[in-house]
Amino acid sequence: MPTITVKRKPGGYTDRARKYKFVVDHQEVGRVGAGETASVEVAPGPHEVMMKMDLNQSPPLTVDVADGRDANLHCAPNANALTGFYYGTLGRKKYIALRQV
């Protein structure tokens, strides 16, 4: 069965003490802290993946996994000390960067 794995960037000050919720197809399947990795087995086909923290989140990412193949993702906060207000208010749906590698 294929897996979707998300690795969170280590280091930095933004959210380093907080864990992000790992959400696949609208269900929380795990949590990742700074420098941590989480994986979940999924059925082959397309899946919607998001990272969330309180009201903040990443844009949804559609990941299409084939049988016997895995998908690897990286996430990190977009916000920093200078942009935190924007990402915490108007940009809260882009607060977390999520990309497939």
Which CATH number among 3.40.50.300, 1.10.1380.10, 1.20.120.1630, 2.60.40.1120 corresponds to the domain 3-100? 2.60.40.1120
Domain boundaries, the chain: 3-100
Model pLDDT, residue 18: 94
In 3-state terms, what secondary structure has residue 30?
strand
Helices (H), 1-93: 84-88
| Cα separation, 97 vs 20, whole angstroms | 11
pLDDT by residue for the chain (101 residues), tens digit each?
899 999 999 977 889 899 999 999 999 999 999 999 999 999 999 999 999 999 999 999 999 999 889 999 999 999 888 898 899 899 999 999 999 99
Model pLDDT, residue 3: 97
pLDDT of residue 80: 84
State the average pLDDT for the chain: 95
